[in-house]
A and B are shown apart, each in its own frame.
Chain A
Amino acid sequence: MTAHVLNDTGVMLDRSLKHVTRSLDTIITVTIMPIAFLLLFRYVFGGAIQTGTDNYTNYLMPGVLLIAIASGISYTGFRLFNDMQGGIFERFNSMPIARSSVLWGHVLTSLVSNAISVLVIIGVGLIIGFRTSAGVLAWLAVTGILVIFTLALTWLAIVAGLSASTPDGASAFSYPLIFLPFISSAFVPTETMPGPVRAFAENQPVTSIVNSIRALWAEQPVGHEIWIALAWCVGILIIAYLFAMAAYRRKIA
């Protein structure tokens, strides 16, 4: 049975990756906006923002990556929705395959395509002045956080893709996620924000994730913030996964 799951998930991943590589415009769309933010904050707003660091690009990078992931996963919801509309979903569900592979193919594809856009954005970051001397362990930790963050949001996207009734609905849920970094420590220190906004900013997941990645890259102690970040990601991941499975069961019942 496990062999089946692996075989079937592999076939699904291959299929879904072909969808990504054959619509490279989606990768461009996903990366262009975060890159625009990167340039905008680096060269337009950055000069006026006091962060207490000498390299504002370093300060920006984590938040921009989270924006990229939040917009990247909306395509997962969209692709899943299209599958269900097109009838291929029913064909798969009438076949003797591991049913979970239908969803896992999309989830793994989301990881791969988001990894590509993250690498592209880090590349652009390096060009405009992003620097880190972080070691292998710190990079592993950053990768781990980003992977769990991507998984959590991807399962949210799966819920949206399974329950939406229009293609727009399948991707629109990600808009608020894209804006979350703006009300966090991603671009400006939260200390400058008025009371209630600051309280929100300091207690929403993006701030702890951004601060942890920033600290890891700066080779500073991450403190307890990384555990808050992980707790958020894992918590969202588990809840989204359970909701996705429930929605999937309803769909194939």
Chain B
Amino acid sequence: MPTRAPAIEVAGLEKSYKDLKVLKGVDLTVDRGSVFALLGSNGAGKTTIVRILATLLKPDAGTATVNEFDVVSQAAHVRESISLTGQFAAVDEILSGRENLVMIAKLRRVPDPGDVADDLLKRFDLADAGGRRVGTYSGGMRRRLDIAMSLIGDPPVIFLDEPTTGLDPEARLEVWEEIRKLAGGGTTVLLTTQYLDEAEKLADRIAILHQGTIIVTGTLAELRQLLPPAQAELVERQPTLEEIFLAIVGKEKR
């Protein structure tokens, strides 16, 4: 197989909201078919990066390409290549779960929207609730529907902004399973998360965003080696990602 360009390439990305400089030169590369986890404290700018990659926000400086398309100058091509599950569920409350899925399937022009919807309802354990208004769903059901809506049309790159926040343990495992399946099928997944065990279990590579830049990036094994030896002794055997994260980010916190 010929080596292909990375699915996502970001270089020198900067973004400010008025006086607040959120991104101060972010660089990252995500290989095709991999799961990439973006970690960072609240307000670090994870959602900002995802929104720029999803063409919803324009960067102030730097470049970003998704599926080899520039997010600013080739935004329409980028949108053909991606699917976004934002931090807050983007579902239509007045439609039923099934109608939400059919709507997205029609917009993505997939054949047999009804079958696609029924299949996803089953996969996300929503078959019984499929005919009910989404307004009556619990937070976790809404989230599952939201993720299901993003899978329609099999885009090569999927962004998941805190996909499992608010899910019960069982639903979390189901979502993890779906993410693994996606990656297994060649889809590139960029996810942000507050749960470090999630990154640890799912991600091929992990990046930590802190004070506007990516301060470390690598596989879990590589990140483990970053831990200062003194701390490594304190932590028995394999340090968890949580310990690594706190060691790296916590120290620098103002």
Contact = CB atoms under 8 A, between A and B. Distances in A.
Interface string A213-253: 00000000000000000000000000000000000000011
A25 to B, nearest CB: 13
B92 A88 contact: yes
Contact of B108 (A18, A95, A252): A95
A87 B54 contact: no
Contact of B56 (A18, A90, A96): A90
Interface residues of B, number: 29
Contacts of B28: none
Nearest to A19: B94
B76 to A, nearest CB: 7
- Chain A contact residues, majority secondary structure: helix
A94 B88 contact: no
A87 B84 contact: no
A26 to B, nearest CB: 12
Chain A interface residue number, banded? 20 to 34
Contact of B84 (A15, A18, A86, A91): A91
A94 B80 CA distance: 9
A7 B109 contact: yes
Interface string B72-104: 000010011011101011111111000100011
B75 to A, nearest CB: 10
A86 B54 CA distance: 17
B173 interface: no
Given A7-B107, A93-B55, A94-B79, 7 more contacts: A18-B94, A22-B133, A88-B90, A90-B84, A92-B107, A95-B83, A96-B108
Interface of A: 7-8, 11, 14-15, 18-19, 22-23, 86-88, 90-97, 252-253
